[in-house]
């Protein structure tokens, strides 16, 4: 039976280091916005005899969609941050009014938002840079049968850390691959030390 996922308030870290006047409630509301969206869409899909969105989307597409949703929701709830209006601009969230029209190709003041199914928050980025990085880790149920009884998508970890160039390792790619960078062991340790939400 389809159920609505709820944010576990006890899993929020009361003493997390939050930059740019962020509040724990900003994270709570952003995650709940995503939960409510998936519930509403999946309810409609199942009523039509279709698959849940969780089961239809490829992992990379789902991570990208969730990252975009979280960025938009965080921008709506946060007091000092806005969504970067530059297409593929960095970072995703920027300080309100810091850049003209809240648009910058590559800015220094803000937070990059990532989502992944990989526990621990290790994600590929398009390049190593000094930044505040926020990684939302989620899990999906694709195994329970019948599918109607599958658990809804759930956030299990949220990390928010300030990382620098030396915290990354470059990933070798073939001729047609896109060059990426990933936090190395020390970078991941730094990121994980400032966890915001743990609900494993």
pLDDT of residue 174: 54
Beta bridge partners, 113, equal: 134
pLDDT tens-place values along the chain, 200 residues long: 789 999 999 999 999 999 999 999 999 999 999 999 999 999 999 999 999 999 999 999 999 999 999 999 999 999 999 999 999 999 999 999 999 999 999 999 999 999 999 998 887 776 678 889 999 999 999 999 988 889 999 999 999 999 888 888 877 665 555 667 888 888 889 999 999 999 98
Sign (positive or negative) of CA dihedral 182, 185, 187, 189 = positive
Alpha-carbon torsion angle 165, 112, 172, 174, nearest 10: -150
Taking alpha carbons only, the member of 25, 97, 63, 163 closest to residue 84 is 97
Using alpha carbons, select from 38, 49, 41, 40 the residue that is nearest to residue 139.
38
Domains of the chain: 19-198 (3.40.600)
pTM for this structure? Answer: 0.92
Residues 4-29 have pLDDT tens digits of 999 999 999 999 999 999 999 999 99
């Amino acid at each position: 039976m389809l159920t609505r996922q709820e944010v576990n308030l006890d899993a929020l870290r009361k003493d997390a280091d939050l930059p740019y006047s962020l509040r724990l409630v900003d994270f709570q509301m952003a995650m709940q916005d995503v939960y409510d969206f998936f519930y509403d869409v999946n309810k409609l899909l199942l009523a039509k005899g279709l698959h849940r969105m969780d089961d239809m989307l490829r992992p990379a597409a789902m991570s990208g969609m969730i990252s975009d949703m979280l960025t938009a929701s965080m921008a709506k709830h946060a007091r000092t941050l806005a969504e970067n209006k530059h297409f593929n601009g960095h970072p995703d969230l920027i300080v309100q009014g810091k850049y003209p029209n809240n648009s910058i190709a590559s800015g220094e003041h803000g937070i990059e938002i990532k989502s992944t199914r990989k526990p621990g928050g290790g994600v590929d980025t398009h390049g190593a840079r000094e930044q505040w990085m926020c990684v939302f880790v989620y899990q999906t149920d694709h195994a329970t049968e019948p599918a109607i009884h599958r658990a809804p998508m759930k956030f299990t970890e949220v990390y928010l850390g300030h990382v620098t160039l030396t915290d990354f390792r470059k990933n070798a790619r073939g001729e047609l691959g896109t060059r990426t960078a990933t936090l190395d062991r020390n970078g991941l340790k730094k990121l994980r030390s400032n966890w915001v939400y743990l609900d494993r």
